[in-house]
Amino acid sequence: MDTSFDITLNTAVYAPFAFAIIIAVLWKAIGSKTAAAIAALSSGVSFVSALAACWGFYKLGSNMAMFAPAEQLYMLPQLCLSGVSAPMLFLAATVSLAATIYSLSLDIKNAKLYFVLLLVMQGGLCGAFTSANVLWMYMFHEFALVPTFIAMVIWGSAGKRMAAMQMAIYLTLGALVSLVGIIAVYAVTGAAGFNMEAISAAVVSKPVSQYWQYYIFAMLMFGLGTLVSLFPFYTWAPRTYACAPTAFAMLHAGVLKKFGLFMLIQFAIPVLPLGCADWSHTMAVLALFNVIYIGFVTMAQRDVKLMVSYSSVGHMGMCFLGLATMSVLGVGGAIIMMFGHGLSVALMLMLSNIVVNRTNQWDMMKMGGLYKRTPVLAGFFIAGTMATVGLPMFANFWGELAILTSLWSFSPAICALGATGLIFSAVYGLRAVARIFMGVPSGELSKNISSIADISGAERVAASVLVAVLILAGTCPGLITKPADVLLKSFPAYNQGK
């Protein structure tokens, strides 16, 4: 790879850390406005570099190697891009940009600490998807987790005490169980290190026995599954997203949650294909619970933020269904789905928070008729809902299409049951639009409806960024599928299915 790739990839990951350190060093000298400006600058730099790095990777076309490593920056961990990590890096940078821009519109107490934590989290997210070393992926993931905890406790909304603790315990449990799985792979194969390449090489020379594959994959599936809110380990997710400050919830639900799926796709399934084959039906059944059971739960929600949070748990079920097929089509669909869902859920969390702040109501039944006062907000909200439902033109559509197509050859019954997910999301999504924006304002809202302002400038920019990338990926899905195909086809594990 050329030097521009090295520079852009390293900048994308390490710029947020560097700017966080700058804010910490200049703590006494700068005010909260300057800190916010530094954070915005950092996100912008990271976004542009991530875009350039991903474009550099995409330009390689069919020459793409499995992993495109970047030159190591001093003694910092080495980074590399692959067909899965490139879209994830771009997702992380995009949602980070939107979350930072959105934060600019807020009046935050102790803003310097807020932006330091936000930047550390962004760096952690970008690093988690691009590290060349499995151990470092794990560590970057925790870099992102701890700031969420602190931010939830300081700036969270009601019920944050228990929600923050529940999130920390669940996610640490999941992370530790998967860490034991990673150690097991390392110990059983006798790999020379935790490098992706070292482990891949060790697996080829000394394959893991079926016995061990069964148990190790179980650890990785349930450990990483907890991070992705796989049924029945999902209870932390809705409360966390409803309580966390919105920017952190956007990053967590949109990006951090995809880390478990990313590790399964790039590490667990290629290394342990027999184990995955043993567990794939269990995984599919659990994922159906995510789709159907959580679908019903989502429909019953009256709190708009909780509804969006539950819907994200449901959509993770679709991704797991794609993984269960162990085919290039299904897993590739899961990758687009992760990308699209990351953007759409971040958008929906942001918009629902705006709605709640404007109306001082969390209950959708007590809203209504906002369309006339806030047409632009309503427009974005409908666009976000359409993306969530999976209409064409949005990235999610291609994901759901590919997943369901490949599910048919995996099991027609599971395919049929999984397809109900589309119906569920249409029902609760459109009903939310109708209850919030259509009709006439109900109850207290009708008294102060005239004081409700439309979406502000910074919020508009943040939402536009997310919608633009959603539509870009929805109209040119090849940007994601081509690199992903190259990577997935190079893993024997994904060539057994159809």
Partner 1 sequence: METLYSFDWASVKMEAALVIFAVLALLSAVALPRRFQTSVSALAFVGMYLALILACVFADRLMYCAYGCLIVICALLTSQMSFSFFDKLGRSGQSRNEYIAVVMMSAAGLILFGNTDNMMVAFVALECATICLYIMAAFSKDCASSLEAGVKYLIVGGFSGALMLMGIAFMYGAGRIEGVDFMYMGNFSAGLLNGFFKTGLVLVFAGVFFKIAAFPFQFWAPDVYQGAPTPSSAFFAVASKIAGVVFLAKICAYLNFNSADLLSVKEDVVLTLSVIAGATIIVGNLGGITQMRTKRLLAFSGISNAGYLLVLIAALLAEPSSAYAFNTVLIFYLGAYMMANYALFIAVGQFPEANQTAQTLSDYRGSFKKHPVVSLALSVNLASLAGIPPTSGFFAKLMVLVLAWYAQLYWLLGIMVAGSVVSIYYYFSWIRSMAEPEDKTPCQFAPTAAAKQTIVLLAICVLAISAAVLVFAGAQ
Residues of the shown chain interacting with partner 1 in the complex, contacts defined by CB under 8 A: 24, 27, 75, 77-78, 110, 112-113, 133, 135-136, 138-139, 142-143, 145-146, 149-150, 153-154, 161, 164-165, 168-169, 172-173, 176-177, 179-180, 183-184, 186-187, 192-193
* Pairwise CA distance, residues 330 & 327, whole Å: 5
* Shortest distance, position 149 Cβ to partner 1, whole Å: 7
Nearer to partner 1, 52 or 135 (CB): 135
Nearer to partner 1, 153 or 299 (CB): 153
Structure tokens at 472: 């870009």
* Shortest distance, position 319 Cβ to partner 1, whole Å: 25
* Pairwise CA distance, residues 126 & 256, whole Å: 10
* Shortest distance, position 17 Cβ to partner 1, whole Å: 12
* Shortest distance, position 30 Cβ to partner 1, whole Å: 14
* Shortest distance, position 233 Cβ to partner 1, whole Å: 13
Structure tokens at 364: 């959708």
Nearer to partner 1, 101 or 184 (CB): 184
β partners of residue 195: 133
Structure tokens at 29: 């000298």
CA atoms within 13 A on the CB side of 28: 0
Residues 6+ apart with CB under 8 A from 1: 56, 68, 69, 70
> What is the amino acid identity at position 105?
S
Q: Judge if the upstream peptide bond of residue 232 is cis by omega within 30 degrees of 0.
A: yes
Nearer to partner 1, 113 or 402 (CB): 113
> What is the amino acid identity at position 363?
D
* Shortest distance, position 94 Cβ to partner 1, whole Å: 26
* Shortest distance, position 5 Cβ to partner 1, whole Å: 21
* Shortest distance, position 236 Cβ to partner 1, whole Å: 13
* Pairwise CA distance, residues 101 & 463, whole Å: 9
Nearer to partner 1, 186 or 241 (CB): 186
> What is the amino acid identity at position 411?
S
Return the SS3 of 339: helix
- Residue 295's nearest CA partner among 423, 403, 178 is 423
C-alpha distances in angstroms, 146 versus 95, 165, 171, 176, 417? 19, 11, 10, 15, 37
Give, in degrees to the nearest 5, the angle at Cα 90 between 172 and 381: 85
* Shortest distance, position 170 Cβ to partner 1, whole Å: 9
Could you identify the residue written with the tokens 């940009």?
Answer: 97
Nearer to partner 1, 168 or 432 (CB): 168
Nearer to partner 1, 193 or 392 (CB): 193
SS3 letters across 439-496: CCCCCCHHHHHHHCCCCCHHHHHHHHHHHHHHHHHHHCCHHHHHHHHHHHHHCHHHHC
* Shortest distance, position 138 Cβ to partner 1, whole Å: 6
* Pairwise CA distance, residues 319 & 258, whole Å: 10
* Pairwise CA distance, residues 397 & 390, whole Å: 4
Please return the burial class of 447, using the count of CB atoms within 10 Å of its CB with bins 0-12, 13-18 and 19+: exposed
Do 278 and 214 form a contact (C-beta atoms < 8 A)? Answer: yes
β partners of residue 79: 131
Nearer to partner 1, 142 or 454 (CB): 142
Nearer to partner 1, 161 or 302 (CB): 161
* Shortest distance, position 74 Cβ to partner 1, whole Å: 10
* Shortest distance, position 76 Cβ to partner 1, whole Å: 9
Nearer to partner 1, 172 or 495 (CB): 172
Nearer to partner 1, 75 or 453 (CB): 75
* Shortest distance, position 66 Cβ to partner 1, whole Å: 20
Do 343 and 94 form a contact (C-beta atoms < 8 A)? Answer: yes
* Pairwise CA distance, residues 191 & 205, whole Å: 10
Nearer to partner 1, 138 or 397 (CB): 138
Residue 159 backbone class (left: φ over 0; alpha: ψ -120 to 50; beta: rest): left
Nearer to partner 1, 127 or 317 (CB): 127
Structure tokens at 438: 């259509």
